[in-house]
A and B are shown apart, each in its own frame.
Chain A
Amino acid sequence: AQSVTQPDIHITVSEGASLELRCNYSYGATPYLFWYVQSPGQGLQLLLKYFSGDTLVQGIKGFEAEFKRSQSSFNLRKPSVHWSDAAEYFCAVGGESQGNLIFGKGTKLSVKP
């Protein structure tokens, strides 16, 4: 079955600290992987995506993610968190011939001053 697991429901980090949000997926074919961010009352904004090639992908707002096929993981990282990064983050998986995305339940990020 196709699925995405985000083990952490809520994470709190101090401003300036590093961040890693975990994502594990289950997908039968070659996965296309995505991270989206959602601020309160807003839609989803794409942070980054991985289709193939270099397993370390860079995204907007200083985020990066690393694809590890052996671990079925696609963790999101940021070296130094800003207060404006407080939001909910969603990992998603799709396939080449598949128009829809399968989302994880999300990780809510709080940032302490």
Chain B
Amino acid sequence: KAGVTQTPRYLIKTRGQQVTLSCSPISGHRSVSWYQQTPGQGLQFLFEYFSETQRNKGNFPGRFSGRQFSNSRSEMNVSTLELGDSALYLCASSPLRGSQETQYFGPGTRLLVL
């Protein structure tokens, strides 16, 4: 089975722009979660989607949004980019919801905001 794929892998944007990141989960997985990883804050939960519905959201401003499609693929969008949004954005998928389901992580999208 193919693993979780994320596109693009690297991205450079300037402040004020917006960006859309994509995540394709493992085939058959219906839950997708997003995390932001920075050297200072570590890994922080952004949001979780299951069956096209946002089920849980972390403590991030409204500039961060996401969605999930009927094929379980997910996108996250960051509007009005700030320098502090520079990070590795990781997507994880699991068959169903709940921490008892192993989350499989993609390689991440590294975003640099100039």
- On A, residues with C-beta under 8 Å from B are 32, 36, 41-46, 49, 51, 90, 92, 94-106
Residues from chain A with Cβ under 8 Å of B16 in the complex: none
25 A–B contacts, CB within 8 A, in A order: A32-B100, A36-B105, A43-B90, A43-B106, A44-B90, A45-B105, A46-B104, A49-B102, A90-B43, A96-B98, A96-B100, A97-B98, A98-B98, A99-B33, A99-B48, A99-B50, A99-B55, A99-B98, A99-B99, A100-B58, A101-B33, A103-B44, A105-B42, A106-B42, A106-B43
Min CB distance A80 to B, Å, is 26
Per a CB cutoff under 8 Å, which of B56, B102, B106, B107 touches A100?
Answer: B56
A101-B99 CB under 8 A given contacts A42-B107, A90-B43: yes
Q: Is B103's beta carbon under 8 Å from chain A?
A: yes
- On B, residues with C-beta under 8 Å from A are 4, 31, 33, 35, 42-45, 48, 50, 55-56, 58, 90, 92, 97-100, 102-108
Which of A44, A49, A95, A96: most chain B CB closer than 10 A? Answer: A44
Residues from chain A with Cβ under 8 Å of B99 in the complex: 32, 94-96, 98-101
Q: Is the interface of B mostly helix, strand, loop or mixed?
A: strand
Which of B42, B50, B90, B107: most chain A CB closer than 10 A? Answer: B42
Closest to B9 in A: A41
Please measure, in the bound complex, the distance between the C-alpha atom of A36 and the C-alpha atom of B102, giving whole angstroms: 11
Residues from chain B with Cβ under 8 Å of A102 in the complex: 45
Find out whether the CB atom of B90 lies under 8 angstroms from the CB atom of A103: no
